[in-house]
């Protein structure tokens, strides 16, 4: 399987070895996700323990990268805008060397520009999205098609771990984030679910490097392997209720490390409004309440859930579905109030660190 790179603004001749002149601009894009459905420790095909996760995909927000090569400059001479995107810069340098090696050409530096609307520090894969968009933009500028496995390897080298965004859209995957490889394709698609997203911790960004490293024992392995089997069955049967049970169990286990003060209220509200469960990013503050979209009175339940969350100081952010209609938006950002606030901005960027925190009734769409 190979990734189809976006078209460059200016395409060089196929017989040229190396990037085009300074007018050639490569473009890449990558989506984000909404945290995890399942994350823990599992056995790989060789029976080896391996940390892995299953992300909850979300269309809409993402990162876009534009890369302009500068022929004759050193390959580590990459200027990035906004400044401070060190992981994306590292990914650009790695991708430059990879593309040059594939073409037997000399690598060079260039100019990288990133834009995007993914909140930083909430566990939505903002840095991975930047990194993958960057790799795709560099490859596009060089006219190279990089397979997803190569992109995954470069992403792991650039940031130490990677979500499986280079494989999206696609089937749900159990993905070893620190190794950049798929442990298992769980089936064709997730069961249908409507998700009311929200932000815990006041929407403050989480410094994942400051979190304690996960420590798993033999009992944890048994538990997560059981959840893996449950999720496999949920996907096979299209069982939204079982999906919710797996996500809730994983979120509950993750509280040993994240300790969200609002978690009891989140699960209590989910039970009260007839949701099938909750999911939480295991490296941030983004969370979601999961509903079966076939549930009678779904819109009324979503509105009630949003109101109850706000009463507990939990900010509703958006509604989206795992199976968005092609004729409707995949996700919806509620309109903030005039007195909404934002978290601390990402270093060197204009991208918000957290979602708008509306203090009035959230406007939610039909799904």
Q: What is the CATH number of the domain that holds 198?
A: 3.30.70.890
Q: How confident is the model at residue 208 (pLDDT cuts 50, 70, 90)?
A: low
For residue 72, give every residue at least 6 positions away whose Cβ sits within 8 Å of its Cβ, in sequence order, or none. Answer: 108
- Indicate the pTM of the whole model: 0.81
- Classify residue 355: in a domain, yes or no: no
Q: Say yes or no: 35 and 93 in one domain.
A: yes
Within a domain: residue 343? no
Q: Is the dihedral of CA 77, 81, 86, 91 positive or negative?
A: negative
Contact predicate 28/135, CB 8 Å: yes
Q: Does position 276 have pLDDT exceeding 80, yes or no? A: yes
Please state the length of the chain.
Answer: 367
pLDDT at 48 over 60: yes
- Same domain assignment for residues 75 and 130: yes
Number of domains in the chain: 2
Domain hosting residue 325, numbered range: 189-332
pLDDT at residue 360 greater than cutoff 80:
no
Tokens read off for 246: 């797996």
Answer whether residue 143 is part of any domain.
Answer: yes
Which is more confident, 18 or 139?
Answer: 139
Q: What is the arithmetic mean of pLDDT over 277-292? A: 92
Q: pLDDT tens across 93-121, in order?
A: 999 999 999 999 999 999 999 998 887 77
């Amino acid at each position: 399987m190979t990734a189809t790179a976006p078209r460059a603004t200016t395409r060089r001749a196929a017989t040229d070895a190396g990037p085009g002149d300074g007018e050639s601009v490569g473009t890449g894009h990558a989506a984000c996700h909404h945290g995890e459905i399942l994350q823990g420790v599992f056995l790989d095909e060789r029976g080896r323990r391996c940390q892995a996760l299953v992300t909850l995909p979300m269309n809409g927000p993402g990162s876009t990268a534009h890369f302009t090569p500068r022929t004759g400059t050193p390959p580590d001479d990459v200027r990035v805008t906004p400044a401070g995107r060190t992981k994306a810069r590292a990914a650009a340098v790695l991708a430059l060397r990879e593309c040059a090696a594939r073409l037997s050409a000399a690598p060079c530096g260039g100019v990288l520009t990133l834009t995007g609307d993914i909140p930083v520090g909430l566990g939505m894969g903002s840095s991975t999205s930047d990194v993958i968009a960057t790799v795709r933009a560099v490859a596009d500028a060089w006219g190279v098609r990089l397979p997803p496995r190569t992109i995954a390897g470069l992403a792991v080298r650039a940031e130490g771990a990677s979500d499986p965004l280079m494989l999206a859209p696609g089937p749900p995957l159990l993905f070893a984030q620190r190794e950049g490889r798929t442990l298992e394709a769980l089936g064709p698609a997730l069961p249908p679910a409507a998700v009311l997203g929200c932000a815990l911790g006041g929407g403050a960004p989480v410094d994942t490097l400051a979190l304690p490293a996960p420590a798993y024992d033999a009992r944890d392995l048994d538990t997560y392997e059981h959840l893996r089997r449950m999720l496999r069955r949920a996907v096979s049967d299209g069982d939204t209720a079982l999906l919710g049970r797996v996500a809730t169990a994983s979120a509950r286990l993750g509280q040993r490390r994240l300790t969200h003060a609002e978690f009891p209220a989140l699960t209590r509200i989910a039970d009260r409004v007839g949701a099938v469960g909750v999911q939480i990013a295991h490296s941030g503050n983004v969370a979601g309440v999961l509903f079966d979209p076939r549930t009678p009175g779904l819109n009324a339940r979503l509105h009630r859930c949003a109101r109850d969350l706000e009463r507990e100081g939990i900010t509703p952010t958006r509604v989206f579905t795992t199976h968005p209609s092609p004729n409707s938006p995949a996700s919806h950002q509620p309109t903030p109030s005039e007195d909404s606030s934002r978290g601390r901005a990402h270093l060197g960027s204009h991208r918000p660190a957290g979602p708008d925190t509306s203090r009035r009734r959230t406007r939610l769409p039909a799904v």
